[in-house]
Structure 1
Amino acid sequence: MRTDASRNRSRILEAARELFAATGPDVTMRAIARRSGVGVATLYRHFPTREALIAAAFEQELAHCDRLTEEALADPDPWRALRVVVDQAVSGHHGKRGFPPDFPDTGARERILGNVTELVRRAQEAGALRADFMTADLALLVQASDSAASPAAARRLVAYLLQSFSARTAPLPAPVPVSLLGVEFG
C-alpha cells in the first residue's frame, strides 16, 4: 500500500473509532469520511462495506479481548480469572459505546464468547460464582458501568457487582434479554 493510502486508511480508522465511541455505530459513512479528511469514495475504496469498516475499527479491541480471555483460561484460580477479565473489559470499555449490535461475525468474537462462557462455568464449578449467573450478566455489568462518571467510579461499581456474583449471596431476579458482542442472550 502506498504511503498516502496507508495514511488515509489510518485516518479513517481513527475517525471511525472516535465517532463510534462518541455516538455509537449508527454514525454515517459520510461523517466518518468528513472527520478523517478524506472523500467518501476514498473511504469506500478502503472499506467497501460498513461491516468491513466496523470490523477493522474494532479489530484491536477484539484482539485484546481475545488475548485477555485466552490468558485468563490459563489461570488456575477461576474466580480470579473471571474477575480480571471483567475488570479489564470494563476498564477498556468505559466511555465508549462498545461493539455495535450488528458486529460482523468473526472467529475472534466466537472464541471470546466461548472463553468467557468457559470461565463462568469453571468459576461456578469451583463454587466461587453463583449458580444462577449467566454469561449474559456480564453484558449487564458492562452496560451498568457505562453510567459511572469516571473510569475509577466504573471500577468501583464493578467491584461491588462482582461481590454480588459470589456464590455466597441471595438469588437474583429472572434474567432479561441482553446483547454481548452482537449476540443476543436470554
Structure 2
Amino acid sequence: MDAARAVFAEQGPDAPLEAIAERAGVGTRTLYRHFPHKEALVRTALRQTVTERLPPILYRIPDFDPRSAILVVMEAVLAIVERERSVLAAAANPAALTAEIIEPALGPLAELTVRAQAAGTIRGDVTGDDVARVLGLLTNVLWVVPEGDDGWRRYLVLVFDAFGPGAATPLPPP
C-alpha cells in the first residue's frame, strides 16, 4: 500500500501497476494476483487508511463536547481524504470512494448532532444527514486547493460556523 501511495503521488493517477510492483519489490504477477486491477488496489489502500486512522478519532470523541467533536470528526475525515488524494485520483469514481471514506463517520456524526442540539450548541433544524452531506461537499474543496495545502481548513471553519444556533435563517425541510 505504501508503494502504491508513493507511485501515485510521484507519477499521478495513470501510474501503471507494474511501477507499483517494482516499488513494492514484488513481481507484476504477484501484484495482479492480489489486485486484478487498479481499482482493487485503490480500494484496499483507502480501506487500510480509514481503518487505521478514523477509529482512534471516533473512540476519542466522548471526551469532547458534542459540537467540538463534530468538528474533530469532520477534520479527521478531510485529513484522510487529503492524505489519500493521489490514490483517490487513480480511482475510476473518486466521489464514490470518498463516500466510502465518510461512511464510518456517519453514525457518530448523527449521534453527535443530536447531543449538540440537546446542549444548545448546534441549530435545531440541522440533521445528522445535513452534517454528513456538508462533509461530502467539503471533500470537493480538496480538489481545488494545492496538494499539501491546509487551505481546506479555512472552508471547514467557514461552513462549520453555519451550524451555530445564533441568528440562523430557518432551513427548508430536509
Question: Structure 1-normalised TM-score?
Answer: 0.63
**Separation (CA, whole Å) in 1 of partners of 2:81 and 2:165:** 26
Higher helix share: 2
Q: Which residue of 2 aligns with 1:132?
A: 126
1:142-185 deviation digits (Å, cap 9, x = unpaired): 2224423453322122112211221223245787xxxxxxxxxx
Matched residue pairs, number?
156
Q: Secondary structure at the match of 1:152?
A: coil
**Separation (CA, whole Å) in 2 of partners of 1:42 and 1:21:** 22
Taking only aligned residues, the RMSD between alpha carbons, in angstroms, comes to 3.6
Residue identity in the other structure for 1:69: L
Structure 2: 5+ residue stretches without partners: none
Residue identity in the other structure for 1:147: V
Cα drift, residue 81 of structure 1: 0.6
Q: Secondary structure at the match of 1:44?
A: helix
Cα drift, residue 40 of structure 1: 3.6
Inter-CA distance 17–122: structure 2 relative to 1 (3 Å threshold) = farther
Residue identity in the other structure for 1:66: P
Structure 1: 5+ residue stretches without partners: 1-12, 176-186
Question: Structure 2-normalised TM-score?
Answer: 0.66
Inter-CA distance 81–101: structure 2 relative to 1 (3 Å threshold) = same
**Separation (CA, whole Å) in 2 of partners of 1:171 and 1:139:** 22
Inter-CA distance 164–93: structure 2 relative to 1 (3 Å threshold) = same
Partners of 1:69 and 1:116 within 8 A in 2: no
**Separation (CA, whole Å) in 1 of partners of 2:112 and 2:17:** 37
1:110-134 deviation digits (Å, cap 9, x = unpaired): 5432222222332233332232351
